[in-house]
Structure 1
Amino acid sequence: MNPVLSGHANSPAKTQSQVPATSIHRVMADGVEIFYRVAGDAAAPVLLLLHGFPTSSFMFRELIPRLADEYRVIAPDLPGFGFTEVPAKRNYIYSFDALAGTIEAFTEALGLDRYVIYIFDYGAPTGLRLGMRHPERVTAIVSQNGNAYEEGLGDAWGPIRKYWSEPTEENRDVLRQNILTLETTRWQYTHGVTNPEAVAPEGYTLDTALMERPGNKEIQLDLFLDYASNVKLYPKFQEYFRKSKPPLLAIWGKNDPFFIPAGAEAFHKDIPNAQVRFLDTGHFALETHAVEIADAIKDFLDARGVSDRREKELSR
């Protein structure tokens, strides 16, 4: 059976005509031309998907159609990634505060005043800044290997931690030569996967091609350095969790060398009712477990009344 056509665990299988189409768009926000993918009924609850390094909204290609029958699913490319374009005259400073500011402007340009956020990797510190700034807008959080705790940082962060403590050109060049390569990007996709050969090459090949654009590697190195600002902000993220108590599902590739399972379990400290699930896969869990993740999201949000189906039932 074609997995793209398989339905929610509690729903009949969809036919080809029932699979919501994904369209691509661009919008100016914060002086940036943001590329984004969207699918689903414009009146349905919004699910905002935020990608990580070194990928783009392309990573959600299997997830979007599986959610768009119940949600308005929107996935932007962050500045410096994918097909979002930052004009040179914008003089953009690549930091996580800046990424969050741009995505905040993006949500406002689209008139999004309430949404669920799906946070992965870099999408976590970006999305959680939105939550802190506008807790009333975030109706729930799905964290797929999106970390907010020191204990969630794995040993794979070693070279980048060294760069934080000694931001020399030599350490910057070590990262340039050893992380910003096709081989390392492929490793991020396949490490911890039971059958690495099953991971389609399109994702890591596209990521590498886009990273090879003139100037892009320097952008990535700037963000590596600024990631230390996220770690310093972890206590503030945790305070946001305690105060606002957003419903949270942590669904985690348990073999991720960057964000280890302890980071998922740690959500219980500040959101006792958080749901935590582990999948036998790596960092890019959607490459191998899109069906399981989509079903878990639907079950989680349906139980909390955050779904198009639930709203239609209540309106009858």
Structure 2
Amino acid sequence: MTPVIHHRTATVDGLEVFYREAGDAAAPVVLLLHGFPTSSHMFRRLIPELADRYHVIAPDHIGFGQSAMPAPADFPYTFDALTDVTEGLLRQLGVDRFAMYVQDYGAPIGWRLALRAPERVTAIVTQNGNAYEEGFVKPFWDGVFAYTDDPRPETEAAMRTALTLDSTRWQYVNGVADPSLVSPDNWVHDQALLDRPGNDEIQLGLFRDYPTNVGLYPRVHRYFRESQVPLLAAWGARDEIFGPAGAEAFRQDLPSAEVHLLESGHFALESHLDEIAALMRDFLGRALAA
């Protein structure tokens, strides 16, 4: 029987937060944290693969998907602020402990949740969710850090290309051996949301805040070493944003980390759903039973 997925909203600090929820509310929680430029839409096929065993919660970050999109003057678009809202949603839902799946922007949000309350995190699945400088692939990050180091019209222009349809499509199909496996609905859906009036300034604000994530890495590594949290890296090895060295790097601080490099790109779920779901079910079954 296919699990039922509920599409809900909650009000957190006056902001409407959209989230997908499935599974038994008494089961262990698996929190799915999406990246840029997508939303919980990226988990639409993964959720049914997990919901027979777990209580799955997948929110849209503020400024993304179906969640509220306040103007930058009314909301500080920083990764700290996005984490505050995620933390508020979990509190409202009564979630005390959770495993988490992090991808792209979901990773720095997840790391902040763990740093704030390490005892709450039961296990981590990272799918191209970076925590090490080894993971940054050039030339992609050269443009990002040129902008964050010196935000002016010339450096901003390069970052605005990341908000275009060609760039959004590239993130989905680059590195995928058979692009016909990836539905164009993905980039059409994401681009429609990126193109909303004012969303460009939101995304530029988050780009400018990205160095705060790198600045957290030493604390994140210490958290890994001290907690030895169970971690699975199911990583698109052909990703030209966060490369496979970023997956291997987790073993620096978590020697027991399970690393699987998949012949896919940044959004590996689109081409390797079955493999990732099987890896997660096996890993979570062992990690959460311990």
TM-score of the aligned structures, taking structure 2 as reference length: 0.97
Shift of 1:214: 0.8
Q: 1:68 to 1:90 in 2, by over 3 A?
A: farther
Shift of 1:76: 0.1
Q: How does 1:142-157 map to 2 (within 5 A)?
A: 142-155=125-138, 156-157=140-141
Q: How does 1:109-120 map to 2 (within 5 A)?
A: 109-120=92-103
CA distance in 2, matches of 1:244, 1:42: 26
Instruction: Please identify, of 282-291 and 195-204, the stretch whose mean Cα deviation from structure 2 is larger.
Output: 195-204
Q: How does 1:125-140 map to 2 (within 5 A)?
A: 125-140=108-123
Partner of 2:39: 56
Give yes or no for contact 2:122–2:288 (8 Å, CA) kept in 1: no
Partner of 1:193: 176
Aligned-partner SS, 2:177: coil
Instruction: Please identify, of 113-122 and 160-169, the stretch whose mean Cα deviation from structure 2 is larger.
Output: 160-169
Q: How does 1:170-189 map to 2 (within 5 A)?
A: 170-176=154-160, 178-189=161-172
Residue of structure 2 aligned with 1:39, choices 17, 22, 29: 22
Partner of 1:294: 277
Residue of structure 1 aligned with 2:196, choices 204, 210, 213: 213
- Give structure 2 stretches of 5+ with no counterpart: none
Partner of 1:168: 152
Partner of 2:48: 65
Partner of 1:104: 87
Instruction: Supply the AA of the counterpart residue of 1:93.
Output: P
Aligned-partner SS, 1:258: coil
Work out the percentage of aligned pairs sharing the same amino acid. Answer: 54
Give yes or no for contact 2:71–2:198 (8 Å, CA) kept in 1: no
Listed one character per residue, the Cα deviations across residues 105-133 of structure 1 (whole Å, up to 9, x for unaligned) are 11101110010010000000001100000
RMSD of equivalent CA atoms = 1.4
Give yes or no for contact 2:72–2:201 (8 Å, CA) kept in 1: no
Partner of 1:141: 124
Instruction: Please identify, of 32-41 and 79-88, the stretch whose mean Cα deviation from structure 2 is larger.
Output: 79-88
The answer to whether structure 1 residue 245 and structure 2 residue 228 are counterparts is yes
CA distance in 1, matches of 2:73, 2:9: 17
Q: 1:89 to 1:119 in 2, by over 3 A?
A: closer
Shift of 1:87: 4.6
Give yes or no for contact 1:48–1:118 (8 Å, CA) kept in 2: yes
CA distance in 1, matches of 2:200, 2:69: 15
Shift of 1:246: 0.8
Q: 1:234 to 1:57 in 2, by over 3 A?
A: same
Aligned-partner SS, 1:136: helix
Aligned-partner SS, 1:278: strand
Which of the two has higher C-alpha Rg?
A: 1
In the alignment of these two chains, the number of paired residues is 289
TM-score of the aligned structures, taking structure 1 as reference length: 0.89
CA distance in 2, matches of 1:187, 1:237: 30
Moved over 3 A (4+): 86-90
Shift of 1:88: 5.4
Listed one character per residue, the Cα deviations across residues 249-285 of structure 1 (whole Å, up to 9, x for unaligned) are 0110000001011111111111111110010000000
Give yes or no for contact 1:143–1:248 (8 Å, CA) kept in 2: yes
Shift of 1:46: 0.4
